[in-house]
Amino acid sequence: MKKTFVLDTNVLLHDPFAIHKFREHNVIIPLVVVEEIDKFKRDQSEVGRNARTVSRLLDKEREKGSLNLGVKLDEGGSLKVVIQNEPVKIGSNTHFSADNYILGVAVHYSNEKHHDCILVTKDTNLRIKADALGIPAQDYRNDKVAMDDLYTGYKELTVEREMIDRLHKEGSLPSPISGLMTNQFVVLHSQENPSQSSIARVGLEGDRLIPVNSVYDIWGIKPLNLEQRLAMELLLDPRIKLVTLIGKAGTGKTLLAIASGLHQVVDEGAFHRLLVARPVLPLGKDLGFLPGDVDDKLKPWMQPIFDNLEFILSCNAKDTLKGQPSYQYLFDKGWLQVEPLTYMRGRSIPNQYLVVDEAQNLTPHEVKSVITRAGHNTKIVLTGDPNQIDNPFLDTTTNGITYLVQRFKGQSIYGHVTLTKGERSPLAELASNLL
């Protein structure tokens, strides 16, 4: 049975192609939504680009016929833009917001017996209002990825000791279970002696395990736990061109990515430059305009990167830098560049090790824009914590890095690890777990 979905403005600003995601069902867009979208079309942000895309898509559908009467969509459903002059009145308030008009449209179609009408909005409060009026309301779920189901990049198995011995003796082993992804790690624990374990990685064929024996120490940075060891295996593997590291604060995501990049740029010469980028989003209230040139303005936003560089240099990397005490030497030599993601659009980035920090604040479309910048011999690493999102239009299930993990898992040039154990300090770990 066909359903009717009334779309809120925030759904289209989040995914401008949402009108094509409801298959054979009917899509209703209140005219007030079009007016709200029009207010964003001049913005240079991702929201502004989405607003302009929505306008172009609606205009393209308009060529098929009258949007007021409804036009057929390629997926089998229909699209209609409607005027509703009877907003829902809530309480004694005589000022009607856009939400009231959107609710009015939902009420109108819900009252028609032949319509099973559902309001689709990412606004929690609007869903609550709709529920109070007896109107079914849902969040936009097309691109949601449940955190509980998110691919972690590794799996622990208990096997016979003979299987572990065969793995190291023969150099590979048929996968003991099905459903493993290419480049997924498997931690094998012995049944006879649980303290005996071995790490393997799923090969390109997807049905054989290959032992992982590497022990790393790069620029004084060593993996402090199993997850960090797995992460460094991916970060230093030249065959892997895209890596995602997800984890709470203090798990070492950014530190490992930068240290691995410096090692491959400065020591091995595998890449021309280490490029570190991050979105410019404040934690809390913004400070407003900052004085100085571009470098001065960017310094507060990029300070977390500089903190990691100082820590790396404070280990034993001075020999590599020939006695240079400051990371400025890396910039002067052209080995390191730091910039905001704002300047990424339209670029082509060949032969570079690109680290995108705080990637949880990127939309799926922005993540796509970053990855498609990769030129020949470029490796991209995205790090982030989906539980620390500063972008008001995203949450743990709709941000770009979780979307990327879900779509790329199993690809031959992709690897992922979820880090759970904090190593920054006992205080940071305790705060991350309790607060």
- Cβ–Cβ under 8 Å, residues 105 and 84: yes
How far is it, in rounded angstroms, from Cα 66 to Cα 79? 10
- Cβ–Cβ under 8 Å, residues 175 and 162: no
Residue 317 has pLDDT above 80, yes or no: no
Residue 136 has pLDDT above 70, yes or no: yes
Per-residue pLDDT tens over the stretch 145-170:
667 778 999 999 998 888 888 988 88
Q: What integer pLDDT is reported at residue 285 of this predicted model?
A: 43
Q: What integer pLDDT is reported at residue 325 of this predicted model?
A: 58
Q: What integer pLDDT is reported at residue 94 of this predicted model?
A: 59
Q: Quickly count: other Cβ atoms within 10 Å of residue 424's Cβ.
A: 15
Q: What integer pLDDT is reported at residue 380 of this predicted model?
A: 96
Per-residue pLDDT tens over the stretch 349-384:
899 999 999 999 888 888 988 899 888 999 999 999
Q: What integer pLDDT is reported at residue 119 of this predicted model?
A: 93
> Max CA-CA distance within the chain?
79
Residue entry with tokens 């993996």: 223
* Superfamily of domain 4-138, CATH level 4: 5'-nuclease (3.40.50.1010)
Per-residue pLDDT tens over the stretch 236-284:
999 999 999 999 888 999 999 999 999 999 999 999 999 998 887 544 4
Written as one string, the DSSP assignment of 119-184 is: EE-S-HHHHHHHHHTT--EE---TT---GGG---SEEEEEE-HHHHHHHHHHS-EE-SSS-PPTT-
CATH T-level assignment (fold) for domain 224-434 = Rossmann fold (3.40.50)
- Cβ–Cβ under 8 Å, residues 55 and 42: no
- Cβ–Cβ under 8 Å, residues 28 and 6: yes
Q: How confident is the model at residue 294 (pLDDT cuts 50, 70, 90)?
A: low
The ranges assigned to domains in the chain are 4-138, 143-213, 224-434
Rg (CA), the chain: 26
* CATH code of the domain made up of 143-213: 2.30.130.30
Q: What integer pLDDT is reported at residue 12 of this predicted model?
A: 92
- Cβ–Cβ under 8 Å, residues 127 and 121: yes
Which of the residue ranges 37-46, 103-112, 164-173, 275-284 would you say has the lowest mean pLDDT? 275-284
Torsion of CA 37, 43, 49, 51, to 10 degrees: 0
Residue 319 has pLDDT above 80, yes or no: no
Residue 290 has pLDDT above 60, yes or no: no
Q: Do domains 4-138 and 224-434 have the same CATH topology?
A: yes
